[in-house]
Amino acid sequence: MFGRKKEEPSAQSVVDQAYATAPEPGAGKGAPTPKRKDQEAARKRPLVPNDRKASKAAERVAIQDQRQKMRQALDTGDERFLPVRDKGPQKRYTRDYVDARFSLGEYLMFGALLFVVISLIIPATSAGISYVLIGFWIMFLAVFVDVFILSRKLRKRLTEKFGEVERGSIWYGCMRALQFRKLRLPKPQVKRGQYPA
């Protein structure tokens, strides 16, 4: 009952089989191992370059090139060179969804500017300033409700499309909705009413 089974291979046969299937020595890499001093010499780089001015100039050119590519990406929506804040499929979907809808938040800054101008014209003691103040608070409340509705719809759409909502995507969309459409960066790539699929 607890004895050794006859079909099991012996330990010696397992070792012999492993030795037979092992590769021959020297046939593995196909090239000799490089010497340590050669490897160290290949890795050595000076801490300070010989020509500091040329190095700084090259670095400056590389930074300017990177900035130029980022500026173009903000105009064209090219994912490769966008800032980290704007990268990813969920952020692109959020941008397209916000840009496709009409948002009251776009005009909040204009309303605030109009309120400041009117409050400078109308004296603070008159009854007219209270109506202006009430009008501004009604507009602010309407923008708040609009952003709340946007966040709910956006969460639902992102969950349907991607399965889960990436952290920060809803906030990203709400902040974009509060910006005037022509001043948004990256620039809108869709027309109004052209919602993403």
Predicted confidence (pLDDT) per residue in 161-196, tens digit = 999 999 999 999 999 999 999 999 999 999 999 999
What's the CA dihedral at 134, 135, 136, 139 to 10 degrees?
Answer: 120
Are 27 and 33 in contact by the 8 Å Cβ rule? The answer is no
Q: What is the mean pLDDT of residues 66-83?
A: 89
Q: Is the pLDDT of residue 84 over 80?
A: yes
Mean confidence (pLDDT) of the chain: 85
Q: What is the mean pLDDT of residues 63-73?
A: 91
Are 168 and 57 in contact by the 8 Å Cβ rule? The answer is no
The pLDDT value given to residue 10? 60
Q: How open is the CA angle 160-165-170, to the nearest 5 degrees? A: 110
- Which has more pLDDT, 12 or 193? 193
Give SS3 for 195.
coil
Are 194 and 102 in contact by the 8 Å Cβ rule? The answer is no
What is the distance between the alpha carbons of residues 117 and 66, in angstroms, rounded to a whole number? Answer: 41
* pLDDT category of residue 44 using cuts at 50, 70 and 90: confident
Q: What is the mean pLDDT of residues 73-79?
A: 88
Q: How open is the CA angle 183-69-171, to the nearest 5 degrees? A: 45
Closest CA to 69 of 77, 56, 189: 77
Q: Is the pLDDT of residue 37 over 80?
A: yes
Q: What is the mean pLDDT of residues 32-38?
A: 90
What is the distance between the alpha carbons of residues 166 and 152, in angstroms, rounded to a whole number? Answer: 14
What is the distance between the alpha carbons of residues 171 and 89, in angstroms, rounded to a whole number? Answer: 15
